[in-house]
Amino acid sequence: MQINIVELTFQERKLIQKILNMTESEIGLGEVLLNSKQYKQFIKSQKKLAQDYPLDYLLGDIRFLDKKFYLDETVLIPREETEYWVKNLQETIEKGDLLVDIGAGSGVIGISLNGLFKQVCLVDVSKGAINICDKNIMENDAKNTQAIQSDLFENKELKNLINNTDNWTLVANLPYLPESEKKYKYDNNVSWEPDIALYSGIDGLDLFKKMIYQLSQLKLPDYIYLELDPGNVDQAADILTNAGYETSIRIDIYGKNRFLVGQR
């Protein structure tokens, strides 16, 4: 089947590149030939795009800063706010022995920062996310990085790792939207992303509060770096201050208060 590239949308062109395993310049702007299997795959993907299914899930991988990461429907598609934050952290985060990335999803945060720590642990409650993290650890040859399935800090292996290290740093982009936002899932353009990656109780802070409580039962991290909803970052800062941390709030690319840093 012949397809004229100039007649395709940007997203469709990306699909063709993926299906033919060719770069944009190799494809050019002329006609391409798809065999029947490739054509069926293209039509199937086109139908999904028409239902607002995310291109990133169809392609199966993204670039985050300078690295390639696999992803699928079990994990959130990393946001540009997170990418901007992690780029900033690459220059400003205090280096240390152990970095624990709680709610790791595809592992973009922990893996992008792994050069600054002796050991990195990617933690997620979702088995699907852990499988993706393992793939991304391999893809990025992240030898000092491991993935552990755990509900926050419940896992024994994780607790031991933390309690037996000299110093450790916590980074987390946990779900932070209030449950009431679920009814706007379609309008918010997150219909295809997993609820477990998005919502966290009435005020969006359930998991954050549970995490701070669990931390009080562990050896405390020296530094905490969190991504939160601009609507609840002040409340989270008060909770972290009460837990004994000096806190500061940082803005995202749109000038919104989204990041919280805690130092003991």
Pick 152 or 237: Cβ nearer ligand SAM: 152
Structural tokens at position 243: 């837990």
Q: Is 170 in the site for ligand SAM (CB under 6 A)?
A: no
Structural tokens at position 189: 């353009």
**Three-class secondary structure of residue 35 per DSSP:** coil
Q: Is 174 in the site for ligand SAM (CB under 6 A)?
A: yes
Compose the 24-63 pattern: x for residues touching ligand SAM by CB under 6 A, - for all others. ----------------------------------------
Specify the pairing of strand 223-227 against strand 257-263. antiparallel
Pick 82 or 136: Cβ nearer ligand SAM: 82
Specify the pairing of strand 96-102 against strand 31-33. unpaired
Q: Is 229 in the site for ligand SAM (CB under 6 A)?
A: no
The single residue among 54, 96, 103, 262 that binds ligand SAM, judged by CB under 6 A, is 103
Pick 78 or 96: Cβ nearer ligand SAM: 78
**Three-class secondary structure of residue 249 per DSSP:** strand
Q: Is 80 in the site for ligand SAM (CB under 6 A)?
A: no
Using Cβ positions, the residue closest to ligand SAM within the complex turns out to be 105
Taking alpha carbons only, the member of 27, 68, 18 closest to residue 46 is 18
Output b/e per residue, 6-19; b: 16+ Cβ within 10 A.
Answer: eebeeebbbbbbbb
Q: What residues from 109 to 138 belong to the interface with ligand SAM (CB under 6 A)?
A: 109, 123-126, 129
Angle at 139 (CA atoms; ends 133, 144), nearest 5 degrees:
70
The site for ligand SAM (CB under 6 A) is made up of 75-76, 78, 82, 102-106, 108-109, 123-126, 129, 151-152, 173-175, 196-197, 207
